[in-house]
Chain A
Amino acid sequence: MTSYYFNEEHETFRESLRAFLDREVLPHIDEWEEQGRIPKDLWPKFGEMGYLGLNYPEKYGGMEADFWYSVVFLEEIAKCYSGGFTITPSVQQYMASPYLLKHGSEAIKQKYLTKAISGEYLCSIAITEPGAGSDVANIQTRAERRGDHYVVNGAKTFITNGVYGDVLVTVVKTDPEAGINGISLLVIDRRAEGVSARKLKKLGWHASDTAEINFDEVKVPAENLLGEEGQGFFYLMGGLQLERLAGAISAVAACEHALAYALQYMSEREAFGRPINKFQVLRHRVAQMAAEIESTRAFVYHCCRLHADGQYAVKECSMAKLLATELSDKVTYQCLQFFGGYGYMEEYKIARMFRDSRIGTIGGGTSEIMREIIAKMIIDDKAYSSAGPLPGTRPTNGKANGQAKSSTSQTKNGNIQSVETIFQAIQERANNSSALGHTLKVDLGGEQIYLDGTGSENTVSREDKDADCTVSVSPEDFESILSGDLNPMNAFMSGKIKVQGDMGVAMKLQGLLG
């Protein structure tokens, strides 16, 4: 199924990435989990392979690859048995660096982005504070402009890469009176004077250095402002979709990985004389999870396509993050159960998968925040009106009309005769039928026949007026319909007839002709 999105080159990339991870990451992962940190010299190796700048411009050292390379990257790093590992390059590439690229000055890009892509610098995005997370408007960290620099005071928490990282893309208030219009993004050196970090102890994600960070009179050069002052909130809103989508991609891959790991165990472990994968109740649980994983993957890929096409898919990305992370909790919980007592022991990796999953429904906006966003879009925007939008329809862009016009202009020469014939035929049939109750226009490529059936009887003219319904058809095709050689419904379905306006009126024309 994935072949709809990935081509051979993506799969080649996947293979080489997997080989790289097998060599550079997997043999060390237990140790990193134990130590609570990942050695810094790992990232230049990633950088050298181009893994940290997949969608970034070549001029900053990026690969300028399409988004599906990032999907492959996120999937594969999620299969290394450590959520703490997964999140580290994920934050770097998809949550922090995008702001440097999109809003940073050329100087910032040269100074920070190139080094983030090469793996020399590790970046963080510092939004959440002890008192405010998704409620970004209420953050308290203050940046006061003093001459050619800002002075930053405040605190951030739950910051991934916050202890051992190098660069903090920090959300600050530059104008505390202005609400969301007073928020700005500053690039702050992790080692700047006045910045201190405390490593937080966590339920899972042990390999990751999640930090609480304090800013005490930190001097930040004014040129480290990203974009414009006061625009930070809007920059964040533009960036959070990618963060959520990345979270969803990782979560689906983690589900798939946990299930594969459990299936392996279930084929080896015996109970009552047979492998436990023969027990129906467990098989059905596997089936249910496999179905939910497959359907979530289909939806997440659908969202990836929207993102890759440049759409700002807030609703879909929020849905994807909600569904995928909640599924991950369910899948890791149930898979752990298959392992029985062993599932609770650290000698199997399912215990870690379980605890690492649990952050998914919290980080990047909780499930409750996702539902708030979705509810606002679905309920308050009245996306579901009583008639309801047609599912699967694309907004018409007027292209069809343009095509109809151009095709008919070619056939216009010498058609006056047939238009006259059609006019007489319609007039004859209209006179013999009861009033349509509507107005209807037949557009024969620049020549109109106007049928007014709103009175007691139908009147037919050659006027060019707006009608309840306009039927566009070439004179030749219309003659074929009149002669019975062409079924009107077939003509409609094959695009030979185009209808604008009330479809019901067009159906009446069919009745008139039939």
Chain B
Amino acid sequence: MHGFDEQHTLFRQALRDHLDRHVIPQVDEWEERGELPRDLWKPLAELGCFGLTFPGEWGGMALDFWHQIVFIEEVSRCWSGGFAAAVIAHPVLALTHLAESGSDYLKEAYLRPGIAGEKIGGLAITEPHAGSDVASLRTTAVRQGDHYLLNGSKTFITNGVHSDFLVVAAKTDPEAGAGGISLLVVERESPGLSATKLRKLGWHASDTGELAFDDVKVPVKNRIGEENAGFYYIMQRFALERLVMAVSAVAACDQALAYTLQYMGEREAFGRPIRKFQVLRHRIAQLSAELERLRAFNYQLCRAYDEGHYQVTECAMAKLLATELSDKLATECLQCFGGYGYMEEYRIARFFRDSRLGPIGGGTSEIMREIIGKNVIEHSK
């Protein structure tokens, strides 16, 4: 079924094996410490994870999109939303811009080491006063000879603190609204760039950062693509980001549901395992059905994406539904654990708080409904 064949399965096995041995045993510690170790990246790069769909000439694997799906699914099953976010943001958010629109210079300087796991990237769009409303960004990049002078701030940036470079959206023409935005690759250690780690409800292993740019000099050659075309690049890739979030949410739900079923088989109440109680059984049945529905929907969109179709409305639908289902599933699975569900000794509590970011990040559920509503209602006329 769907787009997976034996080759994808082998990749999945290799990756899962690596994650089972080198990631899952350590995520508790990373969650506790609030950051990921630097030596995490290289082995994943050696498995090809950061260049799955990118061209071979830059060190990529030039494989189909289903390999990317395998990667997303497997890293989403590691009981740490923060870990998944970090290792997904680097290739999917940051490197995709470089691979698809960057110059050869940028590809050599950032994409190649990015794929090799030597340089880690992040994508910086959201600002304290504007998120999905990209046209209203205030960070400015003023051209001065062979460089831009960058001023402003960004927030909620995954990999914002411990990365090596950031793909930053800035206004190169402040008067032009959406048509005045450019994407710049900024070295994390540039003079004038400071980052603060934000404390969060969940995603504890991830270094979500607030960035301040104070007269940061960025060479003109670090601009991705055309000047003032940034909005177009961002919009073009939002569909991918949302689809990836939907796939990630379903995979994390799979893991949580399996975990819950295992607990329900072991835990007894009134003399029998709690999985024998009809009310809980029906709840599991309902959740499974909803999960299977969204898996089928996601895979259909993955197929379309793989074939080169950008399904903006449908990807917004998938993100909306999958991240909201994840919250529902997290609430109901946690409930099956009773008091233990509230304790950190079981991982369901972490899943619950990590899930909560889904309907917010990458555009809130409300933004998704704005997009869908607009397209569906206008289409109906």
10 A-B contacts, Cβ less than 8 Å apart?
A: A1-B304, A283-B377, A295-B293, A298-B296, A370-B285, A375-B284, A379-B264, A388-B258, A392-B2, A492-B10
Q: Are B285 and A375 in contact (CB under 8 A)?
A: yes
Whether B251 sits at the interface, judged by CB under 8 Å, is yes
Closest A residue to B61 by CB, please name it. A493
A495 adjacent to chain B (CB < 8 Å): yes
Cα A294 to Cα B8 in complex, Å, equals: 27
A272 within 8 A of B: no
User: Pick the contact of B286 from A371, A394, A499 — CB < 8 Å?
Assistant: A371
Is residue B9 contacting chain A, with contact meaning CB distance below 8 A?
A: yes
Q: How far is the CB of A410 from chain B (nearest CB, A)?
A: 21
Nearest chain B CB to A352's CB is how many angstroms away? Answer: 21
- With A287-B376, A302-B296, A371-B282 in contact, do A392 and B1 touch (Cβ < 8 Å)? yes
A390–B254 alpha-carbon span in the complex (Å): 10
Q: Which residues of A contact B254 (CB under 8 A)?
A: 388, 391
CB-nearest residue of chain B to A497: B10
B370 touches A287 (CB 8 A): yes
Shortest CB-to-CB span from A303 to chain B, Å, is 8
**Chain A contacts with B in 167-199, Cβ cutoff 8 A:** none
Partner of B297 from the list A264, A295, A498 (CB cut-off 8 Å) is: A295
Q: In the docked arrangement, what's the CA distance between A13 and B255, Å?
A: 43
Q: Does chain B have a CB within 8 A of A243?
A: no
- Are B366 and A295 within 8 A (Cβ)? no
Known: A374-B289, A375-B284, A493-B11. A392 touches B4 (CB 8 A): yes
Residue A263 is within 8 A (CB to CB) of chain B in the complex: yes
Further contacts, 18 of them, CB under 8 A, given A1-B311, A301-B300, A392-B2: A1-B304, A277-B377, A284-B369, A287-B373, A287-B376, A295-B294, A295-B317, A298-B297, A372-B282, A374-B285, A388-B254, A390-B9, A391-B295, A400-B6, A494-B7, A495-B6, A495-B7, A507-B17
Query: Nearest A residue to B48 by beta-carbon distance?
Result: A489
User: Which residue of chain A has the shortest Cβ distance to B255 in the bound complex?
Assistant: A388
Cα A494 to Cα B282 in complex, Å, equals: 43
Asked, given contacts A291-B320, A299-B296, A375-B281, whether A394 binds B4 with beta carbons under 8 Å apart, the answer is yes
Query: In the complex the two chains form, what is the Cα distance from A295 to B317 in whole Å?
Result: 8
- Whether the Cβ atoms of A4 and B46 lie closer than 8 Å is no
Chain A 284-296, CB within 8 Å of chain B: the 1/0 string?
A: 1011101110111
Question: Is A393 interfacial (CB-CB < 8 Å)?
Answer: yes
Among B257, B292, B299, B370, point to the contact of A384 (Cβ < 8 A).
B257
In the bound complex, residues from chain B placing their C-beta under 8 Å from that of A375 are 281-282, 284-285
Which of these, B6, B11, B303, B321, contacts A292 with CB under 8 Å?
B321
Task: Pick the residue among A4, A373, A494 that contacts B300 (CB under 8 A).
Answer: A4
Report chain B residues within 8 Å CB of A417. Answer: none
Asked if A396 CB lies within 8 Å of chain B CBs, one says yes
A267 at the interface (CB under 8 A from B): yes
Q: Are A374 and B317 in contact (CB under 8 A)?
A: no
* A294 adjacent to B314 (CB under 8 Å): yes
State in angstroms the CA–CA spacing of A1 and B17 once bound together.
35
B321 touches A295 (CB 8 A): yes
**Which chain A residues lie closer than 8 Å to B372 at the CB level?**
286-288, 290-291
Q: Is the CB of A384 within 8 A of B6?
A: no
Task: Kindly state the separation between the CA atoms of A372 and B284 in the bound complex, as whole angstroms.
Answer: 10
Contact with A along B356-381 (1 / 0, CB 8 A): 00000000001011111110110011
A237 CB within 8 Å of chain B: no
Question: CA of A85 to CA of B324 in the docked complex: distance in angstroms?
Answer: 36
Nearest-CB residue, chain B, relative to A267: B381
A260 to B289, CA, bound (A): 26
Residues in B with CB closer than 8 Å to A345 are none
A368: interface (CB < 8 Å): yes
Cβ contact of B292, chosen from A292, A316, A382, A499, cutoff 8 A? A316
Asked if B269 is at the interface (CB within 8 A of a chain A CB), the reply is no
Give the chain B neighbours of A12 by CB distance below 8 A.
Answer: none
| B314 cross-chain contacts in A, Cβ below 8 A | 1, 294
A490 is an interface residue with CB less than 8 A from chain B: yes
Q: Per-residue CB proximity of B266-285 to A under 8 Å, as 1/0?
A: 00000000010000011011
**Given A378-B288, A489-B47, A489-B48, A294:B258 Cβ within 8 A:** no
Q: Cβ of A456 < 8 Å from any Cβ of B? A: no
**Distance of A141 from chain B, by nearest CB (Å):** 29
B300 and A1 contact, CB distance less than 8 A: yes
**Cβ B9 vs Cβ A503 within 8 A:** no
Q: How far is the CA of A104 from the CA of B299 in the complex (A)?
A: 40
State whether A260 and B63 are in contact (beta carbons under 8 Å apart), knowing that A292-B321, A499-B10 are contacts in the complex: no
Q: B interface vs A, CB < 8 Å? A: 1-14, 16-18, 21, 46-48, 61, 63, 67, 73, 251, 254-255, 257-259, 261-262, 264-265, 275, 281-282, 284-286, 288-290, 292-297, 299-300, 303-304, 311, 314, 316-318, 320-321, 366, 368-374, 376-377, 380-381
Q: Report yes or no: B290 in contact with A283, Cβ–Cβ below 8 A.
A: no
Task: Give the 8 A-B residue pairs with the shortest CB-CB distance, closest first.
Answer: A291-B317, A283-B373, A287-B372, A374-B285, A295-B297, A375-B281, A287-B369, A319-B289
Q: Which residues of B contact A125 (CB under 8 A)?
A: none
| Assembled-state Cα–Cα distance A302/B296 (Å) | 7
CB distance from B68 to the nearest CB of A (A): 13
* B17 contact set on A, CB distance < 8 A: 503-504, 507
List, in ascending order, chain B residues with CB within 8 A of A493's CB. Answer: 7, 10-11, 48, 61, 63, 67
Which of B254, B292, B318, B366 has the largest number of chain A CB atoms within 10 A?
B292
Question: Chain A: which residue is nearest B47 at the CB level?
Answer: A489
Give the CA-CA distance A494 to B67 in the complex, in Å.
Answer: 12
B290 proximity list for chain A (CB < 8 A): 323
Question: Which residues of chain B are near A7, meaning CB under 8 Å?
Answer: none
Please determine whether A323 and B293 come into contact, CB atoms closer than 8 angstroms.
Answer: yes
**Least distance between B257 CB and chain A CB atoms (Å):** 7
A369-406 contacts to B, CB under 8 A, are 370-375, 378-379, 382, 384-386, 388, 390-394, 396, 400
Q: Is there contact, CB below 8 Å, between B289 and A384?
A: no
Interface centre among A286, A295, A400, A498 (most CB of B within 10 A): A295
Asked if residues A284 and B297 are in contact (CB atoms below 8 Å), the reply is no
**Measured between alpha carbons, how far is A370 from B73 in the docked complex, in Å?**
28
Give the CA-CA distance A291 to B316 in the complex, in Å.
Answer: 8
**Which chain B residues border A494 with CB–CB below 8 Å?**
7
Residues of chain B within 8 A of A218, CB atoms compared: none
Q: Given A287-B370, A391-B254, do A319 and B292 touch, yes or no (CB 8 Å)?
A: yes
Q: Measured between C-beta atoms, what is the minimum distance from B162 to chain A in Å?
A: 26
Query: CB < 8 Å: which of A4, A388, A396, A507 contacts B303?
Result: A4
Report chain A residues within 8 Å CB of B265. 382
Within the complex, what minimum Cβ distance (angstroms) separates A63 from chain B? 28
Across-interface contacts of B316 in A (CB, < 8 A): 291
- Give Cα A292 to B368, complex, Å: 13
Residues of chain A within 8 A (CB-CB) of B21 are 504
Chain B residues whose CB sits within 8 angstroms of the CB of A294 once the complex forms: 297, 314, 317
Which B residues lie within 8 Å of A260 (CB)?
380
Interface centre among B11, B380, B381 (most CB of A within 10 A): B380
- Tell me the smallest distance from the CB of A308 to a CB of chain B, in Å: 13
Mask of A495-514 contacts with B, CB within 8 angstroms, 1/0 = 10011000110110000000
**CB-CB < 8 A to A385: which residues of B?**
258
The reply to whether the CB of A251 lies closer than 8 angstroms to some CB of chain B is: no
Interface centre among A292, A316, A318, A378 (most CB of B within 10 A): A378
